[in-house]
Amino acid sequence: MPEALLAGLRVVEISSYVATPLCGLTLAQLGADVVRVEPLGGAPDRTRWPLSDEGTSLYWTGLNKGKRAIAVDLATAGGRERVADLIVHSGPCVVVTNTDRHPELTYEALSARRPDVIHALLEGRADGGGAVDYTVQAATGFPLITGPAALPAPVNHVLPAWDLAAGLYLATGLLAAERRRLQTGRGTSLRLALEDVALATAGNLGYLAEAQVTDHERTKSGNDIYGTYGRDFTTADGVRVVIVVLTERHWAKLLTATGLTDTFAALAASLGIDFTGEAARYDHRDLISALLAQWFERTPFAKAAEALEGHRILWQRYRTFAELPRSGALDGELFATLDQPGVGPHRAPKSPLVVDGTRLDPRPAPGIGEHNAEVLA
């Protein structure tokens, strides 16, 4: 296997929960030596659900694969100084953290001792207030447009999207800072607020501009895709699928696959609707869906899948997490068998990035203080 891209880079991670551990995992999967710093007894997220039958956190072991772990009494100045010494004497080092409670471990304190240190701090809000993914969701509008149209209550998304985006933003920022350090020798202080990630994304996707410059008010639309055509259907044998139509070519192929070309041509002529336009398909989605639903209701899944796949329609059947291992989805090169203590052998993901045709195999997440001796010696 070729040398990993980040071989030789030391990352000290002082963090918990999702965003900063994901940042560390992303760097570890590219070959960085990521040292996870925890308080004595372990970080509070080591017991977070889901759990294995033995009580081990599958969440924690998933986000901390391939890292080393040290346990230090961060409640004492001596413990914090020990971690600061590790950072200062580790060579050019990267620090990622989601806490600024430790004065010895701030960028100001560390850069005074080592000017080339790179330090990334994740905050909840830019004003210093606390926030987590679900409170950020509430503050930024997304739960009010998520869920069935008939449901008035807000719906928080089960996927912690802002944590995930923040973790990847942090990794990108740290690698950009490392590039500058290699060129100039300069250190960098990076700060990222979780709420800013959500607000920036809402702005970049046009949600906030729409609210400012139009009188449109975005509402819930269930599984419809705003501004284009997409919806879920149930086949004759009870299998639920989703289809998405983005272009005129997609639309023509869908009509050919379902045998509805002539039907929609007649509708277009009688009603004066140009179904080849994306906006028209969205505006008349209920009419389109009523006809498509009839086709799915009389077509078994196997036949529907053959027609949709044969015409290269954007579609997929809905699958539960439990179905994925049985479906063969974990048999590809993205996954490898990992024997994690407290969990047992299972298929675990490598990095989604393929580097020079290969990816590093996953390695087990560490036990509490497992690497104290070799890291702090």
Name the segment(s) of the chain with CATH classification 3.30.1540.
229-318
- Using the predicted structure, report yes or no on whether residue 224 has a pLDDT greater than 70: yes
**DSSP-derived 3-state class of residue 160:** coil
Assessment of whether the complete model's pTM goes beyond 0.75: yes
In CATH, which of 3.40.30.10, 1.10.340.30, 3.40.1160.10, 3.40.50.10540 is domain 10-202+331-376?
3.40.50.10540
pLDDT at 377: 84
What are the tokens at 146? 């998520």
User: Do residues 82 and 376 lie in contact, with contact meaning Cβ atoms separated by under 8 Å?
Assistant: yes
Q: For residues 194 and 122, give the distance between their C-alpha atoms in angstroms, rounded to a whole number.
A: 7
First CA to last CA across the chain, in angstroms? Answer: 30
What percent of the chain has a predicted confidence (pLDDT) above 90? 98
Give residue 91's region: left, alpha or beta (phi > 0; psi -120 to 50): left
State whether the Cα torsion 16-18-19-20 is positive or negative: positive
**For the segment 99-137, what is each residue's pLDDT rounded down to a tens digit?**
999 999 999 999 999 999 999 999 999 999 999 999 999
Which stretches within 57-160 are classed as H helix? 58-63, 77-88, 107-113, 133-139
**For the segment 339-370, what is each residue's pLDDT rounded down to a tens digit?**
999 999 999 999 999 999 999 999 999 999 99
- Rounded to 5°, the CA angle 60-63-65 comes to 100
pLDDT at 190: 98
pLDDT at 2: 56
Mean pLDDT of 256-260: 98
User: Do residues 5 and 26 lie in contact, with contact meaning Cβ atoms separated by under 8 Å?
Assistant: no
Strand partners, 10: 33, 93
- Using the predicted structure, report yes or no on whether residue 1 has a pLDDT greater than 70: no
**For the segment 319-331, what is each residue's pLDDT rounded down to a tens digit?**
999 999 999 999 9
Give residue 80's region: left, alpha or beta (phi > 0; psi -120 to 50): alpha
**List 163, 215, 237, 274, catalytic entry:** 163
Ramachandran angles phi, psi of 94, nearest 5°:
-115, 135
What 8-state DSSP symbol labels residue 362?
P
Band (3; pLDDT cuts 50, 70, 90): confident
Q: For residues 224 and 149, give the distance between their C-alpha atoms in angstroms, rounded to a whole number.
A: 10
pLDDT at 275: 97
Distances, alpha carbon 188 to alpha carbons 116, 134, 193, 296, 374, in Å: 7, 30, 17, 56, 28
What are the tokens at 239? 């299998």
Distances, alpha carbon 240 to alpha carbons 211, 234, 258, 316, in Å: 34, 4, 16, 9
Beta strands in the chain (DSSP E): 10-14, 33-38, 68-71, 93-97, 118-123, 188-193, 229-234, 240-245, 314-317, 335-340, 344-349
Band (217; pLDDT cuts 50, 70, 90): confident
pLDDT at 82: 97
- Using the predicted structure, report yes or no on whether residue 148 has a pLDDT greater than 90: yes
**For the segment 61-88, what is each residue's pLDDT rounded down to a tens digit?**
999 999 999 999 999 999 999 999 999 9
Q: What is the chain's Cα-based Rg? A: 25
Name the segment(s) of the chain with CATH classification 3.40.50.10540.
10-202+331-376
- Which amino acid type is present at position 271? L
Give the side-chain half-sphere CA count within 13 A for 9.
Answer: 27
User: CATH says 229-318 is which class?
Assistant: alpha beta
Q: For residues 162 and 175, give the distance between their C-alpha atoms in angstroms, rounded to a whole number.
A: 20
Q: Which helix (H) or strand (E) holds 298?
A: none
Q: For residues 315 and 252, give the distance between their C-alpha atoms in angstroms, rounded to a whole number.
A: 15
163 flagged as catalytic:
yes
| Best CA proximity match to 371, nearest among 59, 98, 72, 25 | 72
